[in-house]
Amino acid sequence: MATCYGLSMCLWPKPKTPPSFTNLSSPLFPLPSLPHRKPDTISLSSSSSASMDSALSNEVAQDFSPFLKIYKDGRVERLSGTDVVPTSLDPQTGVECKDAVISAETGVSARLYIPKTKITTNSTKLPLLIYYHGGGFCMGSPFCAYYHNYLTTLVAEANVVAVSVDYRKAPENPLPLGYDDSWAALGWVQSHIEGQGPEEWLNSYADFERVFFAGDSAGANIAHHMAVRLGHEGLVGVNLKGIILVHPYFWGSEPIEGETDVVENRARAEAIWRFAYPTTSGADDLLINPGKDPKLSKLGAERVLVCVAEQDALRQRGWYYSDLLRKSEWGGNVEVVESKEEDHVFHLNNPVGDNAVALLMKIASFLNQDI
């Protein structure tokens, strides 16, 4: 079975024992081994660890290995994807990156990218890509090798400016905080439209008439909702040309055509959502099931590219989403591209594979369609 990054929707075979919403001993969304320095351990408890009983502090409440473990004393230990790639000018692509703090209060930050060797003057304006990483709302960051390397390659190929958002993650910061952080990041980006924002790269090089949102898996879910919110509430000065949803994490209580109807598998899929969003109404929450969202037609982009993979358990949800848009009063153009014989986020697991390169070229073409 293929492994997938980001607590993705690679449904395992029918489990031998029914899944539990409180203790999923084997994860639904497997990760490959990622380079990392030291497990990221964070406490959810306000009590000092010194005062806790040592036996309790070492007792595991939920084991999502090889992703994370939650201990009974409230600690969260992330086991993968905690590596941090330093900022630099990449000699192979000519892409330079830097980090920025969006909110000191919440800790929300971002990694910015520019194709430095292709920028010749300060008057150069390039399309602006806002990217939201995947990871089941619980894992990953713009700074780990997976996403840093992918964004570097995409920025070089598409010749765009990119902002990769580091929203707060569950379970320490349960949803909907990740959505709130992602919207706050857009407000921070908007502060640069007059050329007087805190980041000179955005002031000098970002074309706010050509803005795109993108993401994979849970990040694609976020990108969709940011586009809906922009269309409903507006974001003055930001012209959203399109969104790119790669293997989007959408779900629903009822199976759609071609989707698994195995009760255990569907329960496990919903369990991941409930883990990230404990107060959700369930699998038909409009944040996970766009078919239940009365604001769907308000999506504020002109074009949508949905990328699906033939062997991905979320494949049908991507097609279903495109059908929902076409049947709504949205009025834009939606395109679906399917990668044959591939699984969820395969392009991150094997970025040099033929299908991954083809997908990268398709996304780059979508970003430059109006140039």
Tell me which residues are annotated as active site: 217
Rg of the chain taking only CA atoms, in angstroms = 20
Instruction: Tell which residue, 181, 151, 153, has the closest CA to residue 163.
Output: 151
CA distance 306 to 290: 14
Q: What is the dihedral sign for C-alpha 68, 69, 73, 74? A: positive
Question: Is the Cβ–Cβ distance between 218 and 290 less than 8 Å?
Answer: no
How big is the chain, counted in residues?
A: 371
* Paired sense of beta strands 75-78 and 40-43, if any: antiparallel
Q: Which residues contact 306 (CB under 8 A, 6 or more apart)?
A: 245, 248, 318, 319, 321, 322, 334, 335, 336, 337
CA dihedral 359, 364, 369, 371 (to 10 degrees): -170
Give the residue ranges of DSSP H helices in the chain.
Answer: 54-57, 145-158, 177-190, 200-205, 218-233, 263-276, 315-327, 346-349, 354-367
Q: Which residues contact 191 (CB under 8 A, 6 or more apart)?
A: 197, 198
CA distance 332 to 306: 13
CA distance 309 to 163: 25
